[in-house]
A and B are shown apart, each in its own frame.
Chain A
Amino acid sequence: MGRAISRLMAIMALCLGVTFVVTSAQAGDIVPKVPIDKTKGSCVLPGEQMKREHMNILKHRRDQTMYQGIRGGKPSLEQCLTCHAVKGDDGKPVTVASPKHFCRVCHDYAAVQVDCWTCHKSVPEKNPFKAAENGMMSKKILRAEVEGLKTYLEGGAK
């Protein structure tokens, strides 16, 4: 009798083990991976950490931008789009309307709704920070400004 029980238990343990292996193998296929263009550098934090904390990082940056005017660089929503944008069939980055969009890849799976894209643009835009990267106006704009100002002041001083 005891022998029969131990044999049964062994079989059960084996079955469980097999089930476990199968589940984890399937899970590896099912759990989506965030698409990333690694040629553009690494993310601000390791993937596992980003998975848990990206919303807090975004919220922190959001407040910094709203109240202190800190923009661009890492981490920023713009930077997320730069590296994570997915190209569609037409070669252009897909909008959030497509299930291929990098946010939707995971959020659809986890059934968590993202509200960011009702207001924010979900595809990257030309970088407006380039011209003012060093914090100054470009020389061309500056020269035009000075010229315009001269004519303005001469006209206004009459």
Chain B
Amino acid sequence: MSDRDRKPDAPTSEVDAARRAFLRKIGAASTLTLAPGVVLYTMEGTEAQAKKPGEPLDPKKRWGIVIDTTKCTSGCEVCVEACKKENGWEAKPGSRTDVQWIRKVDVKDPKTGFAMSLPVMCQHCANPPCVDVCPTGASMKRADGIVRVNMHICIGCRYCMMACPYKARSFVHEDIPEERKRFHAPMGKGCVTSCDMCAHRVDVGRIPACVEACDKGAMIFGDLNDPTSEIAQYVAKFPTQQIRADLGTDPGVRYARLP
């Protein structure tokens, strides 16, 4: 039988056939039907699996968050409050200079009256403009896609704040009192700071505080590069958008059902 006559998936030899049967068996053993039409391949294959605290991060991962705008309600600030508590920042209402890692934005279409509310934080771009402009290398992208400030070498020039199209970064103008400091999210006067997708949690296998706190199930966190994770399955199944995708920053935070 020549190669051309053979069916595309016909095994070329007995060894091949046995190997394929074995692989199929493994596949069947490790799948789990979660909901109609959605099959999750082993819980260990999703973001439940994480590196051990002492291990270096996995550069094959691309952490991301999907936010369903239809589930997010106006006036609900649960994610913002959770972030404040976790990362030790506070912003007085209306202040334009206080530290702010995540904010709720209410938008309305004046023609139709359609209104919606959505949280906006660092979008964790694949091509982050804040990293491009940083003169010291303090503004950085980790190999797993998390964009953050290395405050040890930040000089507080605030170029990154100007470059960020999402207004995600803020400058710490005042000393943080000892009781508000968080051990795993240090920040101090004279540095720029922003959402780091709770890197300290992600590094030990937990999910970001905002995602954990959202009681409306409007946020999913996970590895966009892992086709078996629920976030990857979600973005493959439903339409999601990046804010200002036209800028080519390719954010890791995506919004579902933006009008």
Contacts and interface: CB of A to CB of B under 8 A. Distances in A.
Contacts of B143: 67
B217 A148 contact: yes
Contacts, number: 126
Contact of B191 (A119, A121, A142): A119
A14 B26 CA distance: 86
Interface string B70-85: 0100000000000000
B250 interface: no
B53 A129 contact: yes
A66 B150 contact: yes
Interface string A64-75: 101111111100
A128 B204 CA distance: 9
Contacts of B51: 69, 135
Given A71-B54, A136-B49, A153-B34, A131 B230 contact: no
B205 A135 contact: yes
Contact of B178 (A67, A97, A129): A97
Contact of B35 (A69, A131, A150): A150
A29 B206 CA distance: 48
Contact of B206 (A78, A120, A132, A134): A132
Contacts of B182: 121, 125
A66 B175 CA distance: 22
Given A142-B48, A146-B34, A157-B38, A70 B204 contact: no
B188 interface: yes
Nearest to B54: A73
Interface string A119-158: 1111111001101111111000110011011111111110
Given A118-B188, A142-B43, A153-B34, A132 B205 contact: yes
The B interface is mostly helix, strand or loop, or mixed, namely loop
B258 to A, nearest CB: 15
Interface in B203-219: 203-207, 217
Contacts of B256: 156
Interface residues of A, number: 44
B187 to A, nearest CB: 6
A157 B36 CA distance: 9
Nearest to B38: A153
Given A119-B186, A121-B186, A146-B34, A134 B217 contact: no
Given A125-B183, A156-B238, A132 B50 contact: yes
A120 B53 contact: no
B189 A118 contact: yes
Given A125-B183, A151-B217, A134 B142 contact: no
11 contacts: A66-B140, A68-B56, A69-B199, A72-B204, A73-B53, A119-B151, A125-B184, A132-B50, A145-B48, A156-B256, A157-B37
Interface of A: 62, 64, 66-73, 78, 95, 97, 118-125, 128-129, 131-137, 141-142, 145-146, 148-157
